[in-house]
Structure 1
Amino acid sequence: MECSQRGGTADGTCAAGYGTCCAFLQSCGTFVRENRTLFVNNNYPDAYDGIGTCQITMQKINSDICQYRLDFDEFLLAGPETENHICENDQLIIAGAPGSVPIICGMNRGNHIYVDAGTDPQNSMVLSVVTNGESFNRTWKIRISQIPCSSNYKADEGCLQYFSSVSGQITSFNYDPTEGLQLSNQNYGICIRQDRNFCGVQYTQCPDPDNDPIQSFTLSGNSNSNVPAMVGSTGSSNFCQSDYLIIPMVSNVGRPPSGPSANVDRICGGILSADVTLIPTTVRSGVKPFRLWFHTDGVEAPTDRDNKGFCLNYVQQPCMSSI
């Protein structure tokens, strides 16, 4: 009853199954001061095919809020242009957040973003979906959660994405095996919460039955042909300087880091591996905290073509393992 009186609707269970979650559906031009707000397109659940800007203003429910988490329950906007993979038409823009949040577009259902809410209790943030260009059936439902400073599920500082499970899957924005394109102008941290008695992480690129050769890790080069893994190190290599994934002190499983491979922290090219190879390899890192960094510049053509970004499965490794 209290949920409906506040203008919300029942949405699953909370409080370890003893209570019902209350969700608040909001669309363009509204101010949001409720936890578990669902920001949706006009006429949702029907698709939206129009031009303009749809935005909401997020405000803290109390002074103990440090972050917002945006879960993309549904997210389908027009993708980037196909030459340099820039979000020229449709865009999700977050304004008012301390630091930089990249602009994204395309297909991002199931992905998420953490946003720093700032220290000012009165600080507000504007979440905008800009739609432009050709006719396109767009749909979005973005679940907005407010995260207290004192909570144990708050992301570490500098993490645009935060994964709290022992194992899971990480994808770049707009990753899709068939239609996705790696977005340009991305620069953000990806963090994994270290569970007790786990001392490292192994990463494997996702299976890709839709493409031959496999394209679930294609960051640079022409993905229409076989592109090997390329590796580099920060500040001391000519490789992986434009588009790359940083995995600190990464090495291939079964090969102890030694010699040049001991300094690898950047991987690019078309295969996940800590060596130059055409064979996908499980890689590992024992650097703590568990953190990746993804970077792309604003240029693809003519060197890079049809790169899809990455899809990685990760598994934390027990401290007694050989990692």
Structure 2
Amino acid sequence: MKLFTILAVLSIASGAFAAVAKPTCGGTSSSKDTQLLTPTNPPRECVYHIKATSSYVCQLRIDFAWTLGQPSVPSDENDLAYVECVNDYFQVGDLRLCGTETNNHIYVPFNRTAGVTVVDLQIILASRVGYTGLPTPSWDISVTQLECPTGASVRDLDFDMRSDLEFTPEARATIKDGFLVAPPGCLQYFPSKSGVITSFNYNKATGIYPGNMNYAICFRRDTETTSLQLRTYHFQLGSENESKLMSLDNYCYPQVRSSTKSQDYLLVPQAQIENSDIFATYFCGESLDGAIVRSTNPGPLIMVFNSDAVYKKTEAGFYFTYKVL
């Protein structure tokens, strides 16, 4: 199922399809559903203006697939402090992303009641003249405006969505915005009971995640939820410690900050690595590579990813499948 087909189903409200807007660079969309596609001759700067479709709009869910230049790493040839998206990048607010994505998403607050009526989404491209190694840019970005009217923010769904990819036409009429609205502060939100999670620019472990990031990954919890299970297929965050057992807790997030030691980590509250006696909260290096971990946090189901300004050559990121149990 193609990316936008999935998002078209995600963003259905009140049991009916809304028209999908497809603005060109510089265009404005006030539609509930908007698809942004690569123009035939992409300009160096392409800006889309997303205007609130109603006074109830509270968030944008932005799903994306793109091929952009990879982030730049600090070297003797530049003055970068950390891994940054410099050549090509997508930007909304202060967030910049780049590289290769096939199916990822973010949430962006859109507080119409606080006077914010337009959110700008930018694609910035480096000149290809005289440059080698930069890919032909392309993007397919789906923007869904989520509304939070009084009484509709309860995360409820009549259809049992077992996976983020299992949406059928029969399920469309049962999907409400309230089910998709993320808890405040979540850059990513997974409302389904199972699915796939990757770090940004993972690209089958050939990419590198941007530095200087700190964001929450959240999951839907209901009254019967007991835990979050993560099955790790790849995990490589910063640390060069060869021992998996040493790449935990204080080693990942030391009490005294260091300008040379990596503090890239994934925080998983009250976590236990299954089939072991290992309990931890902070994971870095390759500590979770190939492992199954379960979080029994009694409150919100959440993980926190952090990347710092220290570059190691082991920052490919992570690839999980998850289940809310």
TM-score, with structure 1 as normaliser:
0.75
RMSD of aligned Cα (Å):
2.8
- Which residue in the other structure is 2:122 paired with? 128
Matched, 1:286 2:296: yes
**Residue 248 of structure 1: SS of its match in structure 2?**
strand
**Residue 78 of structure 1: SS of its match in structure 2?**
coil
- Which residue in the other structure is 1:59 paired with? 51
Q: Distance in 1 between matches of 2:212 and 2:242?
A: 25
Matched, 1:39 2:36: yes
- Which residue in the other structure is 2:214 paired with? 187
Matched, 1:110 2:103: yes
Trace 1:47-196 onto structure 2 (pairs within 5 A): 52-72=44-64, 74-83=65-74, 84-95=82-93, 102-118=95-111, 119-120=113-114, 122-133=116-127, 134=131, 135-149=134-148, 150=152, 151-196=178-223
Q: Distance in 1 between matches of 2:15 and 2:300?
A: 34
The partner residue of 1:221 within 239, 249, 254 is 239
2:239–2:262 contact (8 Å) kept in structure 1: no
Letter matched to residue 316 of structure 1? V
- Give the count of matched residue pairs: 271
Give the unaligned 5+ runs of structure 2: 1-6, 75-81, 153-177
Superposition deviation, residue 270 in structure 1: 1.9
The partner residue of 1:269 within 285, 304, 310 is 285
Give the unaligned 5+ runs of structure 1: 1-10, 96-100, 207-215, 273-278, 318-323
Q: Distance in 2 between matches of 1:62 and 1:16?
A: 13
Q: Distance in 2 between matches of 1:62 and 1:15?
A: 15
Letter matched to residue 300 of structure 2? P
Q: 1:15 to 1:54 in 2, by over 3 A?
A: closer
1:232–1:238 contact (8 Å) kept in structure 2: no
Higher helix share: 2
TM-score, with structure 2 as normaliser:
0.75
**Residue 199 of structure 1: SS of its match in structure 2?**
coil
- Which residue in the other structure is 2:263 paired with? 242
Superposition deviation, residue 196 in structure 1: 4.1
